[in-house]
Amino acid sequence: MLTRPTLSWTATGEPAPRTTSLDEVTRVVSGGRVVVLSGAGLSTESGIPDYRGPAGSLRRHTPMTYQEFVGSEQARRRYWARSHLGWATVARAEPNAGHRAVAALRTRGHLSGVVTQNVDGLHQAVGTSGVVELHGRLSRVVCLGCGRKSSREELDSRLRAANPVFEGSASRVNPDGDVDLADEQVRAFRLVDCSACTSGVLKPDVVFFGENVPPARVQRCYRLIDNARALLVLGSSLTVMSGLRFVRHAAKSGKPILIINRGETRGDRYANTLVDLPLGQALTDLARRLGC
């Protein structure tokens, strides 16, 4: 069963008290067995925009849903044309200070796991081990017919061959790796099918809005949280249930929940500590305090 996409939420009531002090976060993380849940806000300092921040792409862009993608060849053409141009920017993105600090905290044993809602692969690029990619990764492609997985580089090469004169501007890339294109540019774009079964529809190996996270992946995240002492949320508005459910699960178990994010989140009422600081600055300071 597919979930109805949740693209936004509206905060009600008085905002929960926030702080710029990392003292409580430092105290909890120093005890170890902390699971990180990271969101798009962690990657904005790498040049990848988020959906819902002050300059978030949802203010100008509606992301593709799973239902649209599988139900319409024209929707797939629009997605792949736009993504073909935007992919280069995502592929060039490099881990920032926040990613490096998370890797250091993991190496020193303070973190027992990392669950990321991001599809950019930047946690792994800096060497963080044991990352659960909740929503998949843009660098992989899956055939909806035969199930074969392949690299985005392979698909990119095939799309360039099929569209040798395709041009467009990638000056403003969205979090899902695509750019804004005029309709006439989209209409001229040629799709390619799976090279293995020759007829299957190709889809990025990511969970689209309206698509369910694979159950085995969800259960792995629950186990990580069950075995943790605390949950540390980094740069996520927690708007979508795929991430918020883990915050609720930790709260139900009475585990401390720490959130570092710019602005309010949908999970604020479950948190013990809310820190409003830039992620790179905050995590670098946290790692320094803990001798990483």
Binding-site residue set: 39-59, 117-120, 143, 146, 194, 197, 235-237, 261-263, 279
φ/ψ region of 13 (left if φ > 0, alpha if ψ in -120 to 50, else beta) reads left
Q: Residue 139 carries which side chain, given as an amino acid letter?
A: S
> Residues at the annotated binding site for NAD(+)?
39-59, 117-120, 235-237, 261-263, 279
For strands 136-143 and 149-151, give the pairing.
antiparallel
Q: How would you label 143-168 residue by residue, b for 16+ Cβ within 10 Å and e otherwise?
A: beeeeeebebeebbeebeeebeebeb
Spatial CB neighbours of 113, under 8 Å, sequence gap ≥ 6 = 35, 36, 130, 132, 224, 228
Residues 114/123, Cβ–Cβ less than 8 Å: yes
> Residues at the annotated binding site for Zn(2+)?
143, 146, 194, 197
Task: Based on the residue annotation, tell me whether 135 is a catalytic residue of this protein.
Answer: yes
Q: Residue 67 carries which side chain, given as an amino acid letter?
A: Q
The one catalytic residue among 84, 123, 135, 249: 135
Q: Which of 225, 243, 212, 226 has its CA nearest to residue 116?
A: 243
Beta strands (DSSP E) in 134-197 are: 136-143, 149-151
Round to the nearest angstrom and report the end-to-end CA distance of the chain. 44
CA 48, 277, 112, 134 torsion: positive or negative? negative
d(CA 169, CA 86): 9
Distances (CA, A) of 18 to 3, 10, 45, 273: 32, 18, 22, 7
Helix and strand numbers, DSSP H then E, in the chain? 10, 9
Catalytic residues: 135
